[in-house]
Chains A and B, each alone.
Chain A
Amino acid sequence: MTDLLELAVSILEAGGIYALMALAYLVVLRPTGIINFAVGEWATLASFFSVATLGWWNLPYIPGAVLALAGVAAIGALTEQATVRPMIERGAPILTPILILLGMVVVYREAAALGFGTQNLRVPPPLGFGRIDLGPIAIPMQSAVVIAVSGIMLAGTWAFFERTIWGKAFQAVAIDRVAAGLMGINLRLVAAFSFAGGAAIAGTAGVLQAPLTSAHYLMGLPLAIKGFSALVIGGVGRVEGCILGGLVLAACERLVMRYAPIPSGFAIGVPLLLMILFLLVRPTGLIGARGRT
Chain B
Amino acid sequence: MTKTRLTRRALLAGTAAAATAATLKAPAIAQNAPIKIGVITDRVANSAMWATLMGEGVELATKQVNDAGGVLGRRIELAWEDDQDRPDVSATRARKLIGDGVVMILSLSSSTAAQQAQTATLEGKVPHMSPSHSADTLTTRLNNPYFFQMGPLASFQIRTLMAYAGTRFRRVALLTDNSALGTVNATSFRQGLQQGNIQIVADETFERGVTDVTPALQRVRAANPEGIFHAGILGAEMALFFRTYHQMGLRQPVLGSFNLSIPTYLDLVPGLLEGVQFIDVYDDVKPEVVDFANRYKAVHNKDPFSLPAYGYDGIMLTVDALRRAGAPDREKLRDAMHATRNYTAVIGARGTTIGFAPDRRIGFPENGCVVRTIANNKHGHAVWRGLAAS
Main secondary structure of the interface of A (DSSP, over half): helix
B251 contacts A by Cβ under 8 Å: no
Q: Which of B3-11, B213-221, B344-352, B362-370 sits within the interface?
A: B213-221
Query: Interface digits, B261-304 against A, CB 8 Å rule (1 contact, 0 not)?
Result: 00010011110000000000000000000000000000000000
Also in contact, A118 and B205, with CB within 8 A (given A10-B212, A214-B268, A257-B216) = no
Also in contact, A138 and B247, with CB within 8 A (given A122-B267, A257-B215, A263-B203) = yes
**Residues on B with beta carbons closer than 8 Å to the beta carbon of A9:** 214
**Residues on A with beta carbons closer than 8 Å to the beta carbon of B248:** 6
Interface size class of B (residues with CB under 8 A): 35 or more
Bound CA–CA A226/B208 (angstroms): 12
Query: Interface digits, B39-75 against A, CB 8 Å rule (1 contact, 0 not)?
Result: 0000111101100100000000000000000000000
Structural contact, B206 and A216, CB atoms closer than 8 A: no
**Residues on A with beta carbons closer than 8 Å to the beta carbon of B43:** 113, 118
B246 contacts A by Cβ under 8 Å: yes
In the complex, the number of residue pairs spanning A and B with C-beta atoms less than 8 Å apart equals 113
Count residues on chain A whose CB falls below 8 Å from chain B CBs.
43
For chain A, residues 230 to 277, give those with C-beta under 8 angstroms from any C-beta of chain B: 254-255, 257-258, 263-265, 267-268
Name which residue of chain A comes closest to B265, CB basis. Answer: A120
Q: Chain B's nearest CB lies how many Å from the CB of A215?
A: 9
**Residues on A with beta carbons closer than 8 Å to the beta carbon of B210:** 222
Q: Which of B98-106, B164-172, B233-241 sits within the interface?
A: B233-241
Also in contact, A214 and B235, with CB within 8 A (given A119-B264, A223-B209, A264-B205) = yes
Name which residue of chain A comes closest to B205, CB basis. Answer: A265
Bound CA–CA A93/B46 (angstroms): 35
Also in contact, A265 and B212, with CB within 8 A (given A7-B218, A258-B218) = no
Structural contact, A212 and B247, CB atoms closer than 8 A: no
For chain A, residues 125 to 166, give those with C-beta under 8 angstroms from any C-beta of chain B: 129, 131, 138, 140, 142
Bound CA–CA A219/B246 (angstroms): 23
Bound CA–CA A142/B243 (angstroms): 10
Bound CA–CA A212/B43 (angstroms): 25
Q: Chain A's nearest CB lies how many Å from the CB of B292?
A: 21
Q: Chain A's nearest CB lies how many Å from the CB of B203?
A: 6
Q: Which of A129, A254, A263 sits near B212, CB closer than 8 Å?
A: A254
13 A/B residue pairs, CB under 8 Å, sorted by A: A7-B218, A10-B212, A118-B52, A120-B236, A131-B247, A209-B211, A213-B236, A214-B268, A221-B209, A222-B209, A226-B209, A254-B215, A257-B216
Give chain A's interface residues, CB within 8 Å of chain B. 3, 6-7, 9-10, 13-14, 17, 109-110, 113, 117-122, 129, 131, 138, 140, 142, 209, 212-214, 216, 218-219, 221-223, 225-226, 254-255, 257-258, 263-265, 267-268
